[in-house]
Every structure is written in C-alpha cells, then in structure tokens.
Amino acid sequence: MKIFDFDPNDYSDRYAAVGWVHIPGGLNSEFLAYLQEYVHQRLRENRVEGVAIGGTKEQALFEFSEQVDFPGELFDVVARSAGSTGRL
C-alpha cells in the first residue's frame, strides 16, 4: 500500500520557489481509508466527552501497516518534493 498518490517531482519547483507546497488529494485513497478506519476504531475504544475536559487524556500511537514502506516512502517523497534526488 502506497502512502502518497502523486509524483513528487511535479512539486519540487514550487517548493524551491516558495519553501512550501500544498498537494490536494496527495494521499493514496487506500492509505487514507486505512487512516480513517484507525481513527474511528480508536474513538470507539477511547471516547472522551465533556466541554472542558481536564486531566489525563487518551492518546494512541499510529501503527503503520506492514504493507506500507515506512519510513522509506515518506522520507523519499518528502525529499524528492523538496528537490533532492535519489533514495535517502
């Protein structure tokens, strides 16, 4: 499963010109669905309610699927978007 669904080389000129880039729809739809299901599951398991909740909060560490090349793909796509070439 891929994290991103865009060619980072398409954004490197923009990044070089302004120092940032916005990539609408940049996440792969399968990965986005995986993220959304993870969040929904965690909210069902650890629901926090109240207007101004103080004290201890529930947190979750996101676990990447074994089908994802993490951190390889993340680092490679960010580096290429920023104008670096090759695999880091």
Task: State the average pLDDT over residues 46-66.
Answer: 67
CA-to-CA dists, residue 61 to 11, 38, 43, angstroms: 30, 10, 13
pLDDT value of residue 87? 52
Nearest to 9 by CA among 68, 85, 75: 85
Judge whether 12 and 81 are in contact, CB under 8 Å.
yes
CA dihedral 48, 54, 55, 60 (to 10 degrees): 40
Residue 39's pLDDT is 86
What average pLDDT does range 42-47 have in this prediction?
Answer: 71
Report the pLDDT averaged over residues 78-88.
Answer: 78
Say if residue 3 is exposed, middle or buried (CB neighbours under 10 Å; 0-12, 13-18, 19+): buried
